[in-house]
Amino acid sequence: MKCKICNKDVQDSGFCYLHLIAYKNIVDKFDVWKKASDIFWSDYLIEVQKNSLTGEWAKEVVKHLIEEGNQNVR
């Protein structure tokens, strides 16, 4: 099976190792953002995507989640 984003071998959740780490970080950090600003998952994804400090792997994961309609994961 290949990564949903880059076609490397899948580790878990349909992502390769590096995209999986980025995905887990995005999900974990959402709890922090939610407590601080009461933000919705879909709005959080947009903010992460716009943030200039967001890494390339994370931006690719966010783009994939938005394009695939997985904005309501949380």
pLDDT surpasses 90 at 74: no
> How open is the CA angle 48-51-37, to the nearest 5 degrees?
55
- Confirm if 39 and 48 have CB atoms less than 8 A apart: no
3-class DSSP assignment, residue 12? strand
pLDDT, tens digit, 9 for 90 and up, residues 7-65: 999 988 899 999 999 999 999 999 999 999 989 999 999 999 999 999 999 999 999 99
Residue 69 confidence class, pLDDT cut points 50, 70, 90:
confident
Nearest to 62 by CA among 37, 35, 33, 36: 33
Q: What is the 3-state secondary structure (H, E, C) of 33-73?
A: HHHHHCCCHHHHHHHHHHCCCCCHHHHHHHHHHHHCCCCCC
pLDDT of 73: 55
